[in-house]
Amino acid sequence: ANQEYYFYKCITKRVCCICGKTGADIDHFDKALGRRKRKEVDHSEYTFAALCRIHHTEKHKIGVINFKNKYQIKGIKLNQETIKKLRIGG
């Protein structure tokens, strides 16, 4: 539960959960949106992680499974209220 709280705080503060860099992206962590439009998606079905540009790019380069194994991180689900507050998808 502590780990989940850490990931949650990183997302709400937009701090990279790996290196601590501020201004992080909020990434749809376990599965990408693909071609679906952000406004048409139920974001509460997704998991999220806060990643700086460097780690976000690395995740896409090596793939989510390798990335998870390398850094021992996981995406967390967010409720509708948090999603709205963070302006995800809108």
Within-domain flag for 59: yes
Structural domain including 49 reads 2-30+40-85
Instruction: Compute CA distances 53 → 14, 42, 43, 79, whole Å.
Output: 12, 24, 21, 24
pTM of the model: 0.86
pLDDT computed for residue 64 by the predictor: 93
Within-domain flag for 90: no
Going by pLDDT thresholds of 50, 70 and 90, the confidence category of residue 17 is very high
Within-domain flag for 74: yes
**Cα dihedral sign for 36, 40, 46, 52?**
positive
Within-domain flag for 35: no
Please state the domain count of the chain.
1
Q: Please say whether the beta carbons of 39 and 90 come within 8 A.
A: yes
Separation of alpha carbons 60 and 6, rounded Å: 23
The residue ranking higher by pLDDT, 67 or 37, is 67
Within-domain flag for 75: yes
Within-domain flag for 16: yes
